[in-house]
A = this chain, B = another copy of it.
Amino acid sequence: MSKEGHFSDRMTARIQSIESRLVVGIDPRLDCLPDGIEADDPEQALTHLGVGVIEAVAGLAAAVKPQVAFFERWGWRGWKALETVCRSASEHGIPVILDAKRGDIGSTAEAYAEALLGDEPGTLGPYVDALTVNPYLGSDSLEPFFCRVRDGGRGVFVLARTSNPGGGEFQKRPGDEIPEEIIQVREAAPGSFLLIPGIGAQGGSIGDIAGAFDGQGLGALVNSSRGIVQAFEKQPDRPWQEVVQEAAKESRDALEGVIWA
């Protein structure tokens, strides 16, 4: 049940086929639901919203990025919904980048890798194409995840740099600035995809990220979460999936404009 080929190759094919570098982050909140989805059954609400977003963005998103925390927030019922959402994306042919930022050592890291990038029925693994991981415990802690890249056709995004106020405490050297850092990482890892979070609600501007792409407009994916998944809040009178689809299309087009400018 390993995925066929390399994650980067599958991603490149997907980007070229639907002409999109947009990743739609799925961060469902039960205090922000469209009309017709009730919060009283968390599993059902998370599933309904998550699957609904996937249907809406299926032709527009290079990948979807479910954020585990917003499912884990509701215990095992949330995890059950997360499995359904990842399976739905997989059935729609959309690559799933699971945002879990896991990191541990030895057999514990191996257990996370098996849970989230493995092939076991009854886990998320079979439906996940790539995983975000945290490198604080060092290179050897990432090895169980990298094994799934070499032998399982999966992708791993290693958390490098975040733009929050404390982001530089462990992640940067004095004087480093994010736009230049992106260009340095781009040069250091020419064959790899970079995952750039946060156009929209997280405050990143589209112009800042042009340096993440290579000459072919490849090698980077750009995430938007709340700007798409919560778009219905601003137009409560329209069908919510239509509004989400429109927001995804706008972000997709804006990104394509940067690439081909």
Assess the B73–A114 pair: CB atoms within 8 A: yes
Of B27, B83, B165, B170, the residue contacting A108 (CB under 8 A) is: B27
Interface residues of A in 78-99 (CB under 8 A from B): 78-80, 82-83
A80, B164: Cα distance in complex, Å? 33
The stretch of A131-139, A185-193, A206-214, A236-244 that contacts the partner chain: A131-139
**Docked-complex contact B137 and A75, CB < 8 angstroms:** no
Give Cα A83–Cα B75 distance, bound, in whole angstroms. 8
Q: Interface residue tally of chain A, by bracket? A: 35 or more
CB distance from A169 to the nearest CB of B (A): 4
How many copies are assembled?
Answer: 2
Residues of B near A102 (CB, < 8 A) are 69, 101
Residue of B nearest to A139 (CB): B166
Q: Is the CB of B169 within 8 A of A115?
A: no
Contact A123 B75 (CB under 8 A): yes
Is there a chain B Cβ closer than 8 Å to A112's Cβ?
yes
Q: A80-B76, A165-B140 are in contact. Are A170 and B135 (CB under 8 A)?
A: yes
Smallest CB separation, A196 vs chain B (Å): 15
Is the C-beta of A14 less than 8 angstroms from some C-beta in chain B? Answer: no
Q: Does A33 touch B at the CB level, under 8 Å?
A: no
Question: What distance in Å separates the Cβ of A247 from its nearest Cβ neighbour in chain B?
Answer: 19
Interface residues of A in 135-183 (CB under 8 A from B): 135-141, 159, 162, 164-171
- In the assembled complex, the CB of A75 is this many whole angstroms from the nearest CB of chain B, namely 4
Q: Which of B67, B75, B83 contacts A122 (CB 8 A)?
A: B75
Extra A-B contacts (16), CB below 8 Å, given A72-B112, A75-B83, A105-B162? A42-B122, A73-B111, A73-B112, A73-B114, A74-B122, A74-B123, A75-B120, A76-B76, A76-B83, A103-B103, A103-B134, A135-B170, A138-B166, A139-B166, A139-B169, A140-B165
